Amino acid sequence: MMAPILNPTPEAITRAAKALRAGRLVAMPTETVYGLAARADDPVAVASIYTAKGRPKFNPLIAHCANLEMAQREGDFSANALKLAAAFWPGPLTLVVNLASSHTVCDLARAGLDSIAIRVPAHPVAQALLSEIGQPLVAPSANPSGKISPTEAAHVAADMGEKLDLILDGGVCQAGVESTIIDARGKAPALLRPGSLDPDQIESVWPGLIRPAQNPDAPQSPGQLLRHYAPNARLRLNADAPHDSEAYLGFGPGPATLNLSATQDLTEAASNLFSMLRRLDAVHDKIAVAPIPNHGLGEAINDRLTRAAQQ
Ligand code: AMP
Ligand code: MG
């Protein structure tokens, strides 16, 4: 079914919030581009974003918050991070901060990291939806992986219309470029992704901006700068059964220490991946992992497992 494009009336906002609470996907306009929104605390809803985008890798997603108060439940902000938030929120600035103990954003949304990327969007429709739902939404650009980001509701309908509940029409996005991402955890701010907020403006609030992306010896893509969650346990992949000393992370029917999905549902498996790895890693030195088919979300799951096994 093709998602309807709705004018952002209070009724449409309520309908969108209801769909999101039920774990479904909604497209919402922001001042940067249209976002594919899901509730950030629900790993199944987050997994369905990856399915809808056809993304072959789990990269961490940005948690969109209604205001600083909501943001501070999710992340620990240093004094300098707070200065940036005060200066540029709501707006096209994403801050990477340490995860707060009161966080609600799920492991899959953060790709298992102990940090979190947060932004407070300025677009009135995004603001209205976030205030109504009262909890963070993840919202990567509402386009299939590899296609360009949508700046109009009609773009979203054309590319993703079958995969969403509804599209909130907020007109043409002003910026058309993604948010600027700053890592605000260190002594100096670090530019992880250039975006629609000019870095010179960051300088005027918190000087000393590091630009890792411009260092020829440093990795070019922000994704490569991420230090991903790595288990301490030794992982053995494509294991049909565990050895004596191993815990078994299963996929499908049969005995397992923990099972990614007894029914071999890849979306369910993706939603369980990071949390189950963590739980096994906390008590086992060796983990055998069942074979995961390499189609659909299986590709992203296998990408993550392969990297976790190589250390
Ligand atoms: P988007 O596709 O616009 O939602 O942006 C997601 C991007 O935000 C990722 O590809 C990362 O570059 C960045 N990001 C998200 N979370 C983190 C994090 N915890 N640490 C560093 N970068 C992050
Ligand atoms: Mg994108």
Q: How far apart are CA 84 and CA 68, in angstroms?
A: 11
Domain-terminating residue out of 186, 205, 224: 205
Domain coverage including residue 184: 5-205
* Together in a domain, 33 and 96: yes
Q: What is the pLDDT of residues 110-145, one digit of tens each?
A: 999 999 999 999 999 999 999 999 999 999 999 998
Indicate if 21 and 169 belong to the same structural domain. yes
Centre of ligand 2 from the C-alpha of residue 146, in Å: 8
- Say whether both 185 and 238 belong to one domain: no
Q: Please indicate whether residue 286, judged by its CB atom, sits closer than 6 Å to ligand 1.
A: no
The pLDDT value recorded for residue 296 is 86
d(CA 181, ligand 1 centre) in Å: 8
How far is ligand 1, taken at its centre, from the CA of residue 60, in Å?
5
Give yes or no: residues 121 and 200 share one domain: yes
Ligand 1 close to Cβ of residue 192 (< 6 A): yes
Ligand 1 pocket: which of 25, 28, 96 to mutate (most atoms within 8 A of CB):
96
Please state, in angstroms and rounded to a whole number, the distance separating the CA atoms of residues 74 and 97. Answer: 9
Distance 187 CA to ligand 1 centre (A): 20
Atom number, ligand 1, closest to the C-alpha of residue 139: 4
Q: What integer pLDDT is reported at residue 212 of this predicted model?
A: 77
pLDDT digits (tens, 9 = 90+) for 156-180: 999 999 999 999 999 998 877 889 9
Closest to 225 (Cα-Cα) out of 117, 153, 299: 117
| Cβ–Cβ < 8 Å for 28, 103 | no
Is 178 within 8 Å of 33 (Cβ atoms)?
A: yes
Q: What total number of domains does the chain contain?
A: 2
216 domain-assigned: no
Percent share of the chain, pLDDT over 70: 94
Q: Of the residues 163, 185, 205, which one is the last residue of a structural domain? A: 205
Between the CA of 149 and the centroid of ligand 2 the distance, in Å, is 6
In this structure, the answer to whether residues 201 and 239 fall within a common structural domain is no
User: Nearest to residue 182, comparing CAs of 122, 130, 225?
Assistant: 225
Domain assignment of residue 47, yes or no: yes
On whether both 201 and 238 belong to a single domain, the answer is: no
Q: Read off the pLDDT of residues 185-199 as tens digits, 9 standing for 90 and up.
A: 999 999 998 888 988
Instruction: Work out the number of other CB atoms within 10 angstroms of the CB of residue 306.
Output: 11
Do residues 198 and 262 both lie within one domain?
Answer: no
Please check the confidence at residue 287 and state whether its pLDDT lies above 80.
yes
**How far apart are the C-alpha atoms of 139 and 127, rounded to whole Å?**
13
Whether 163 and 297 share a structural domain: no
Name the residue at shortest CA distance from atom 2 of ligand 1.
140
Do 149 and 245 lie in one domain? The reply is no
Rounded-to-integer distance, Cα 63 and Cα 42, Å: 12
- What is the pTM for the complete model shown? 0.90
Decide whether any atom of ligand 1 lies within 6 Å of the 143 Cβ: no
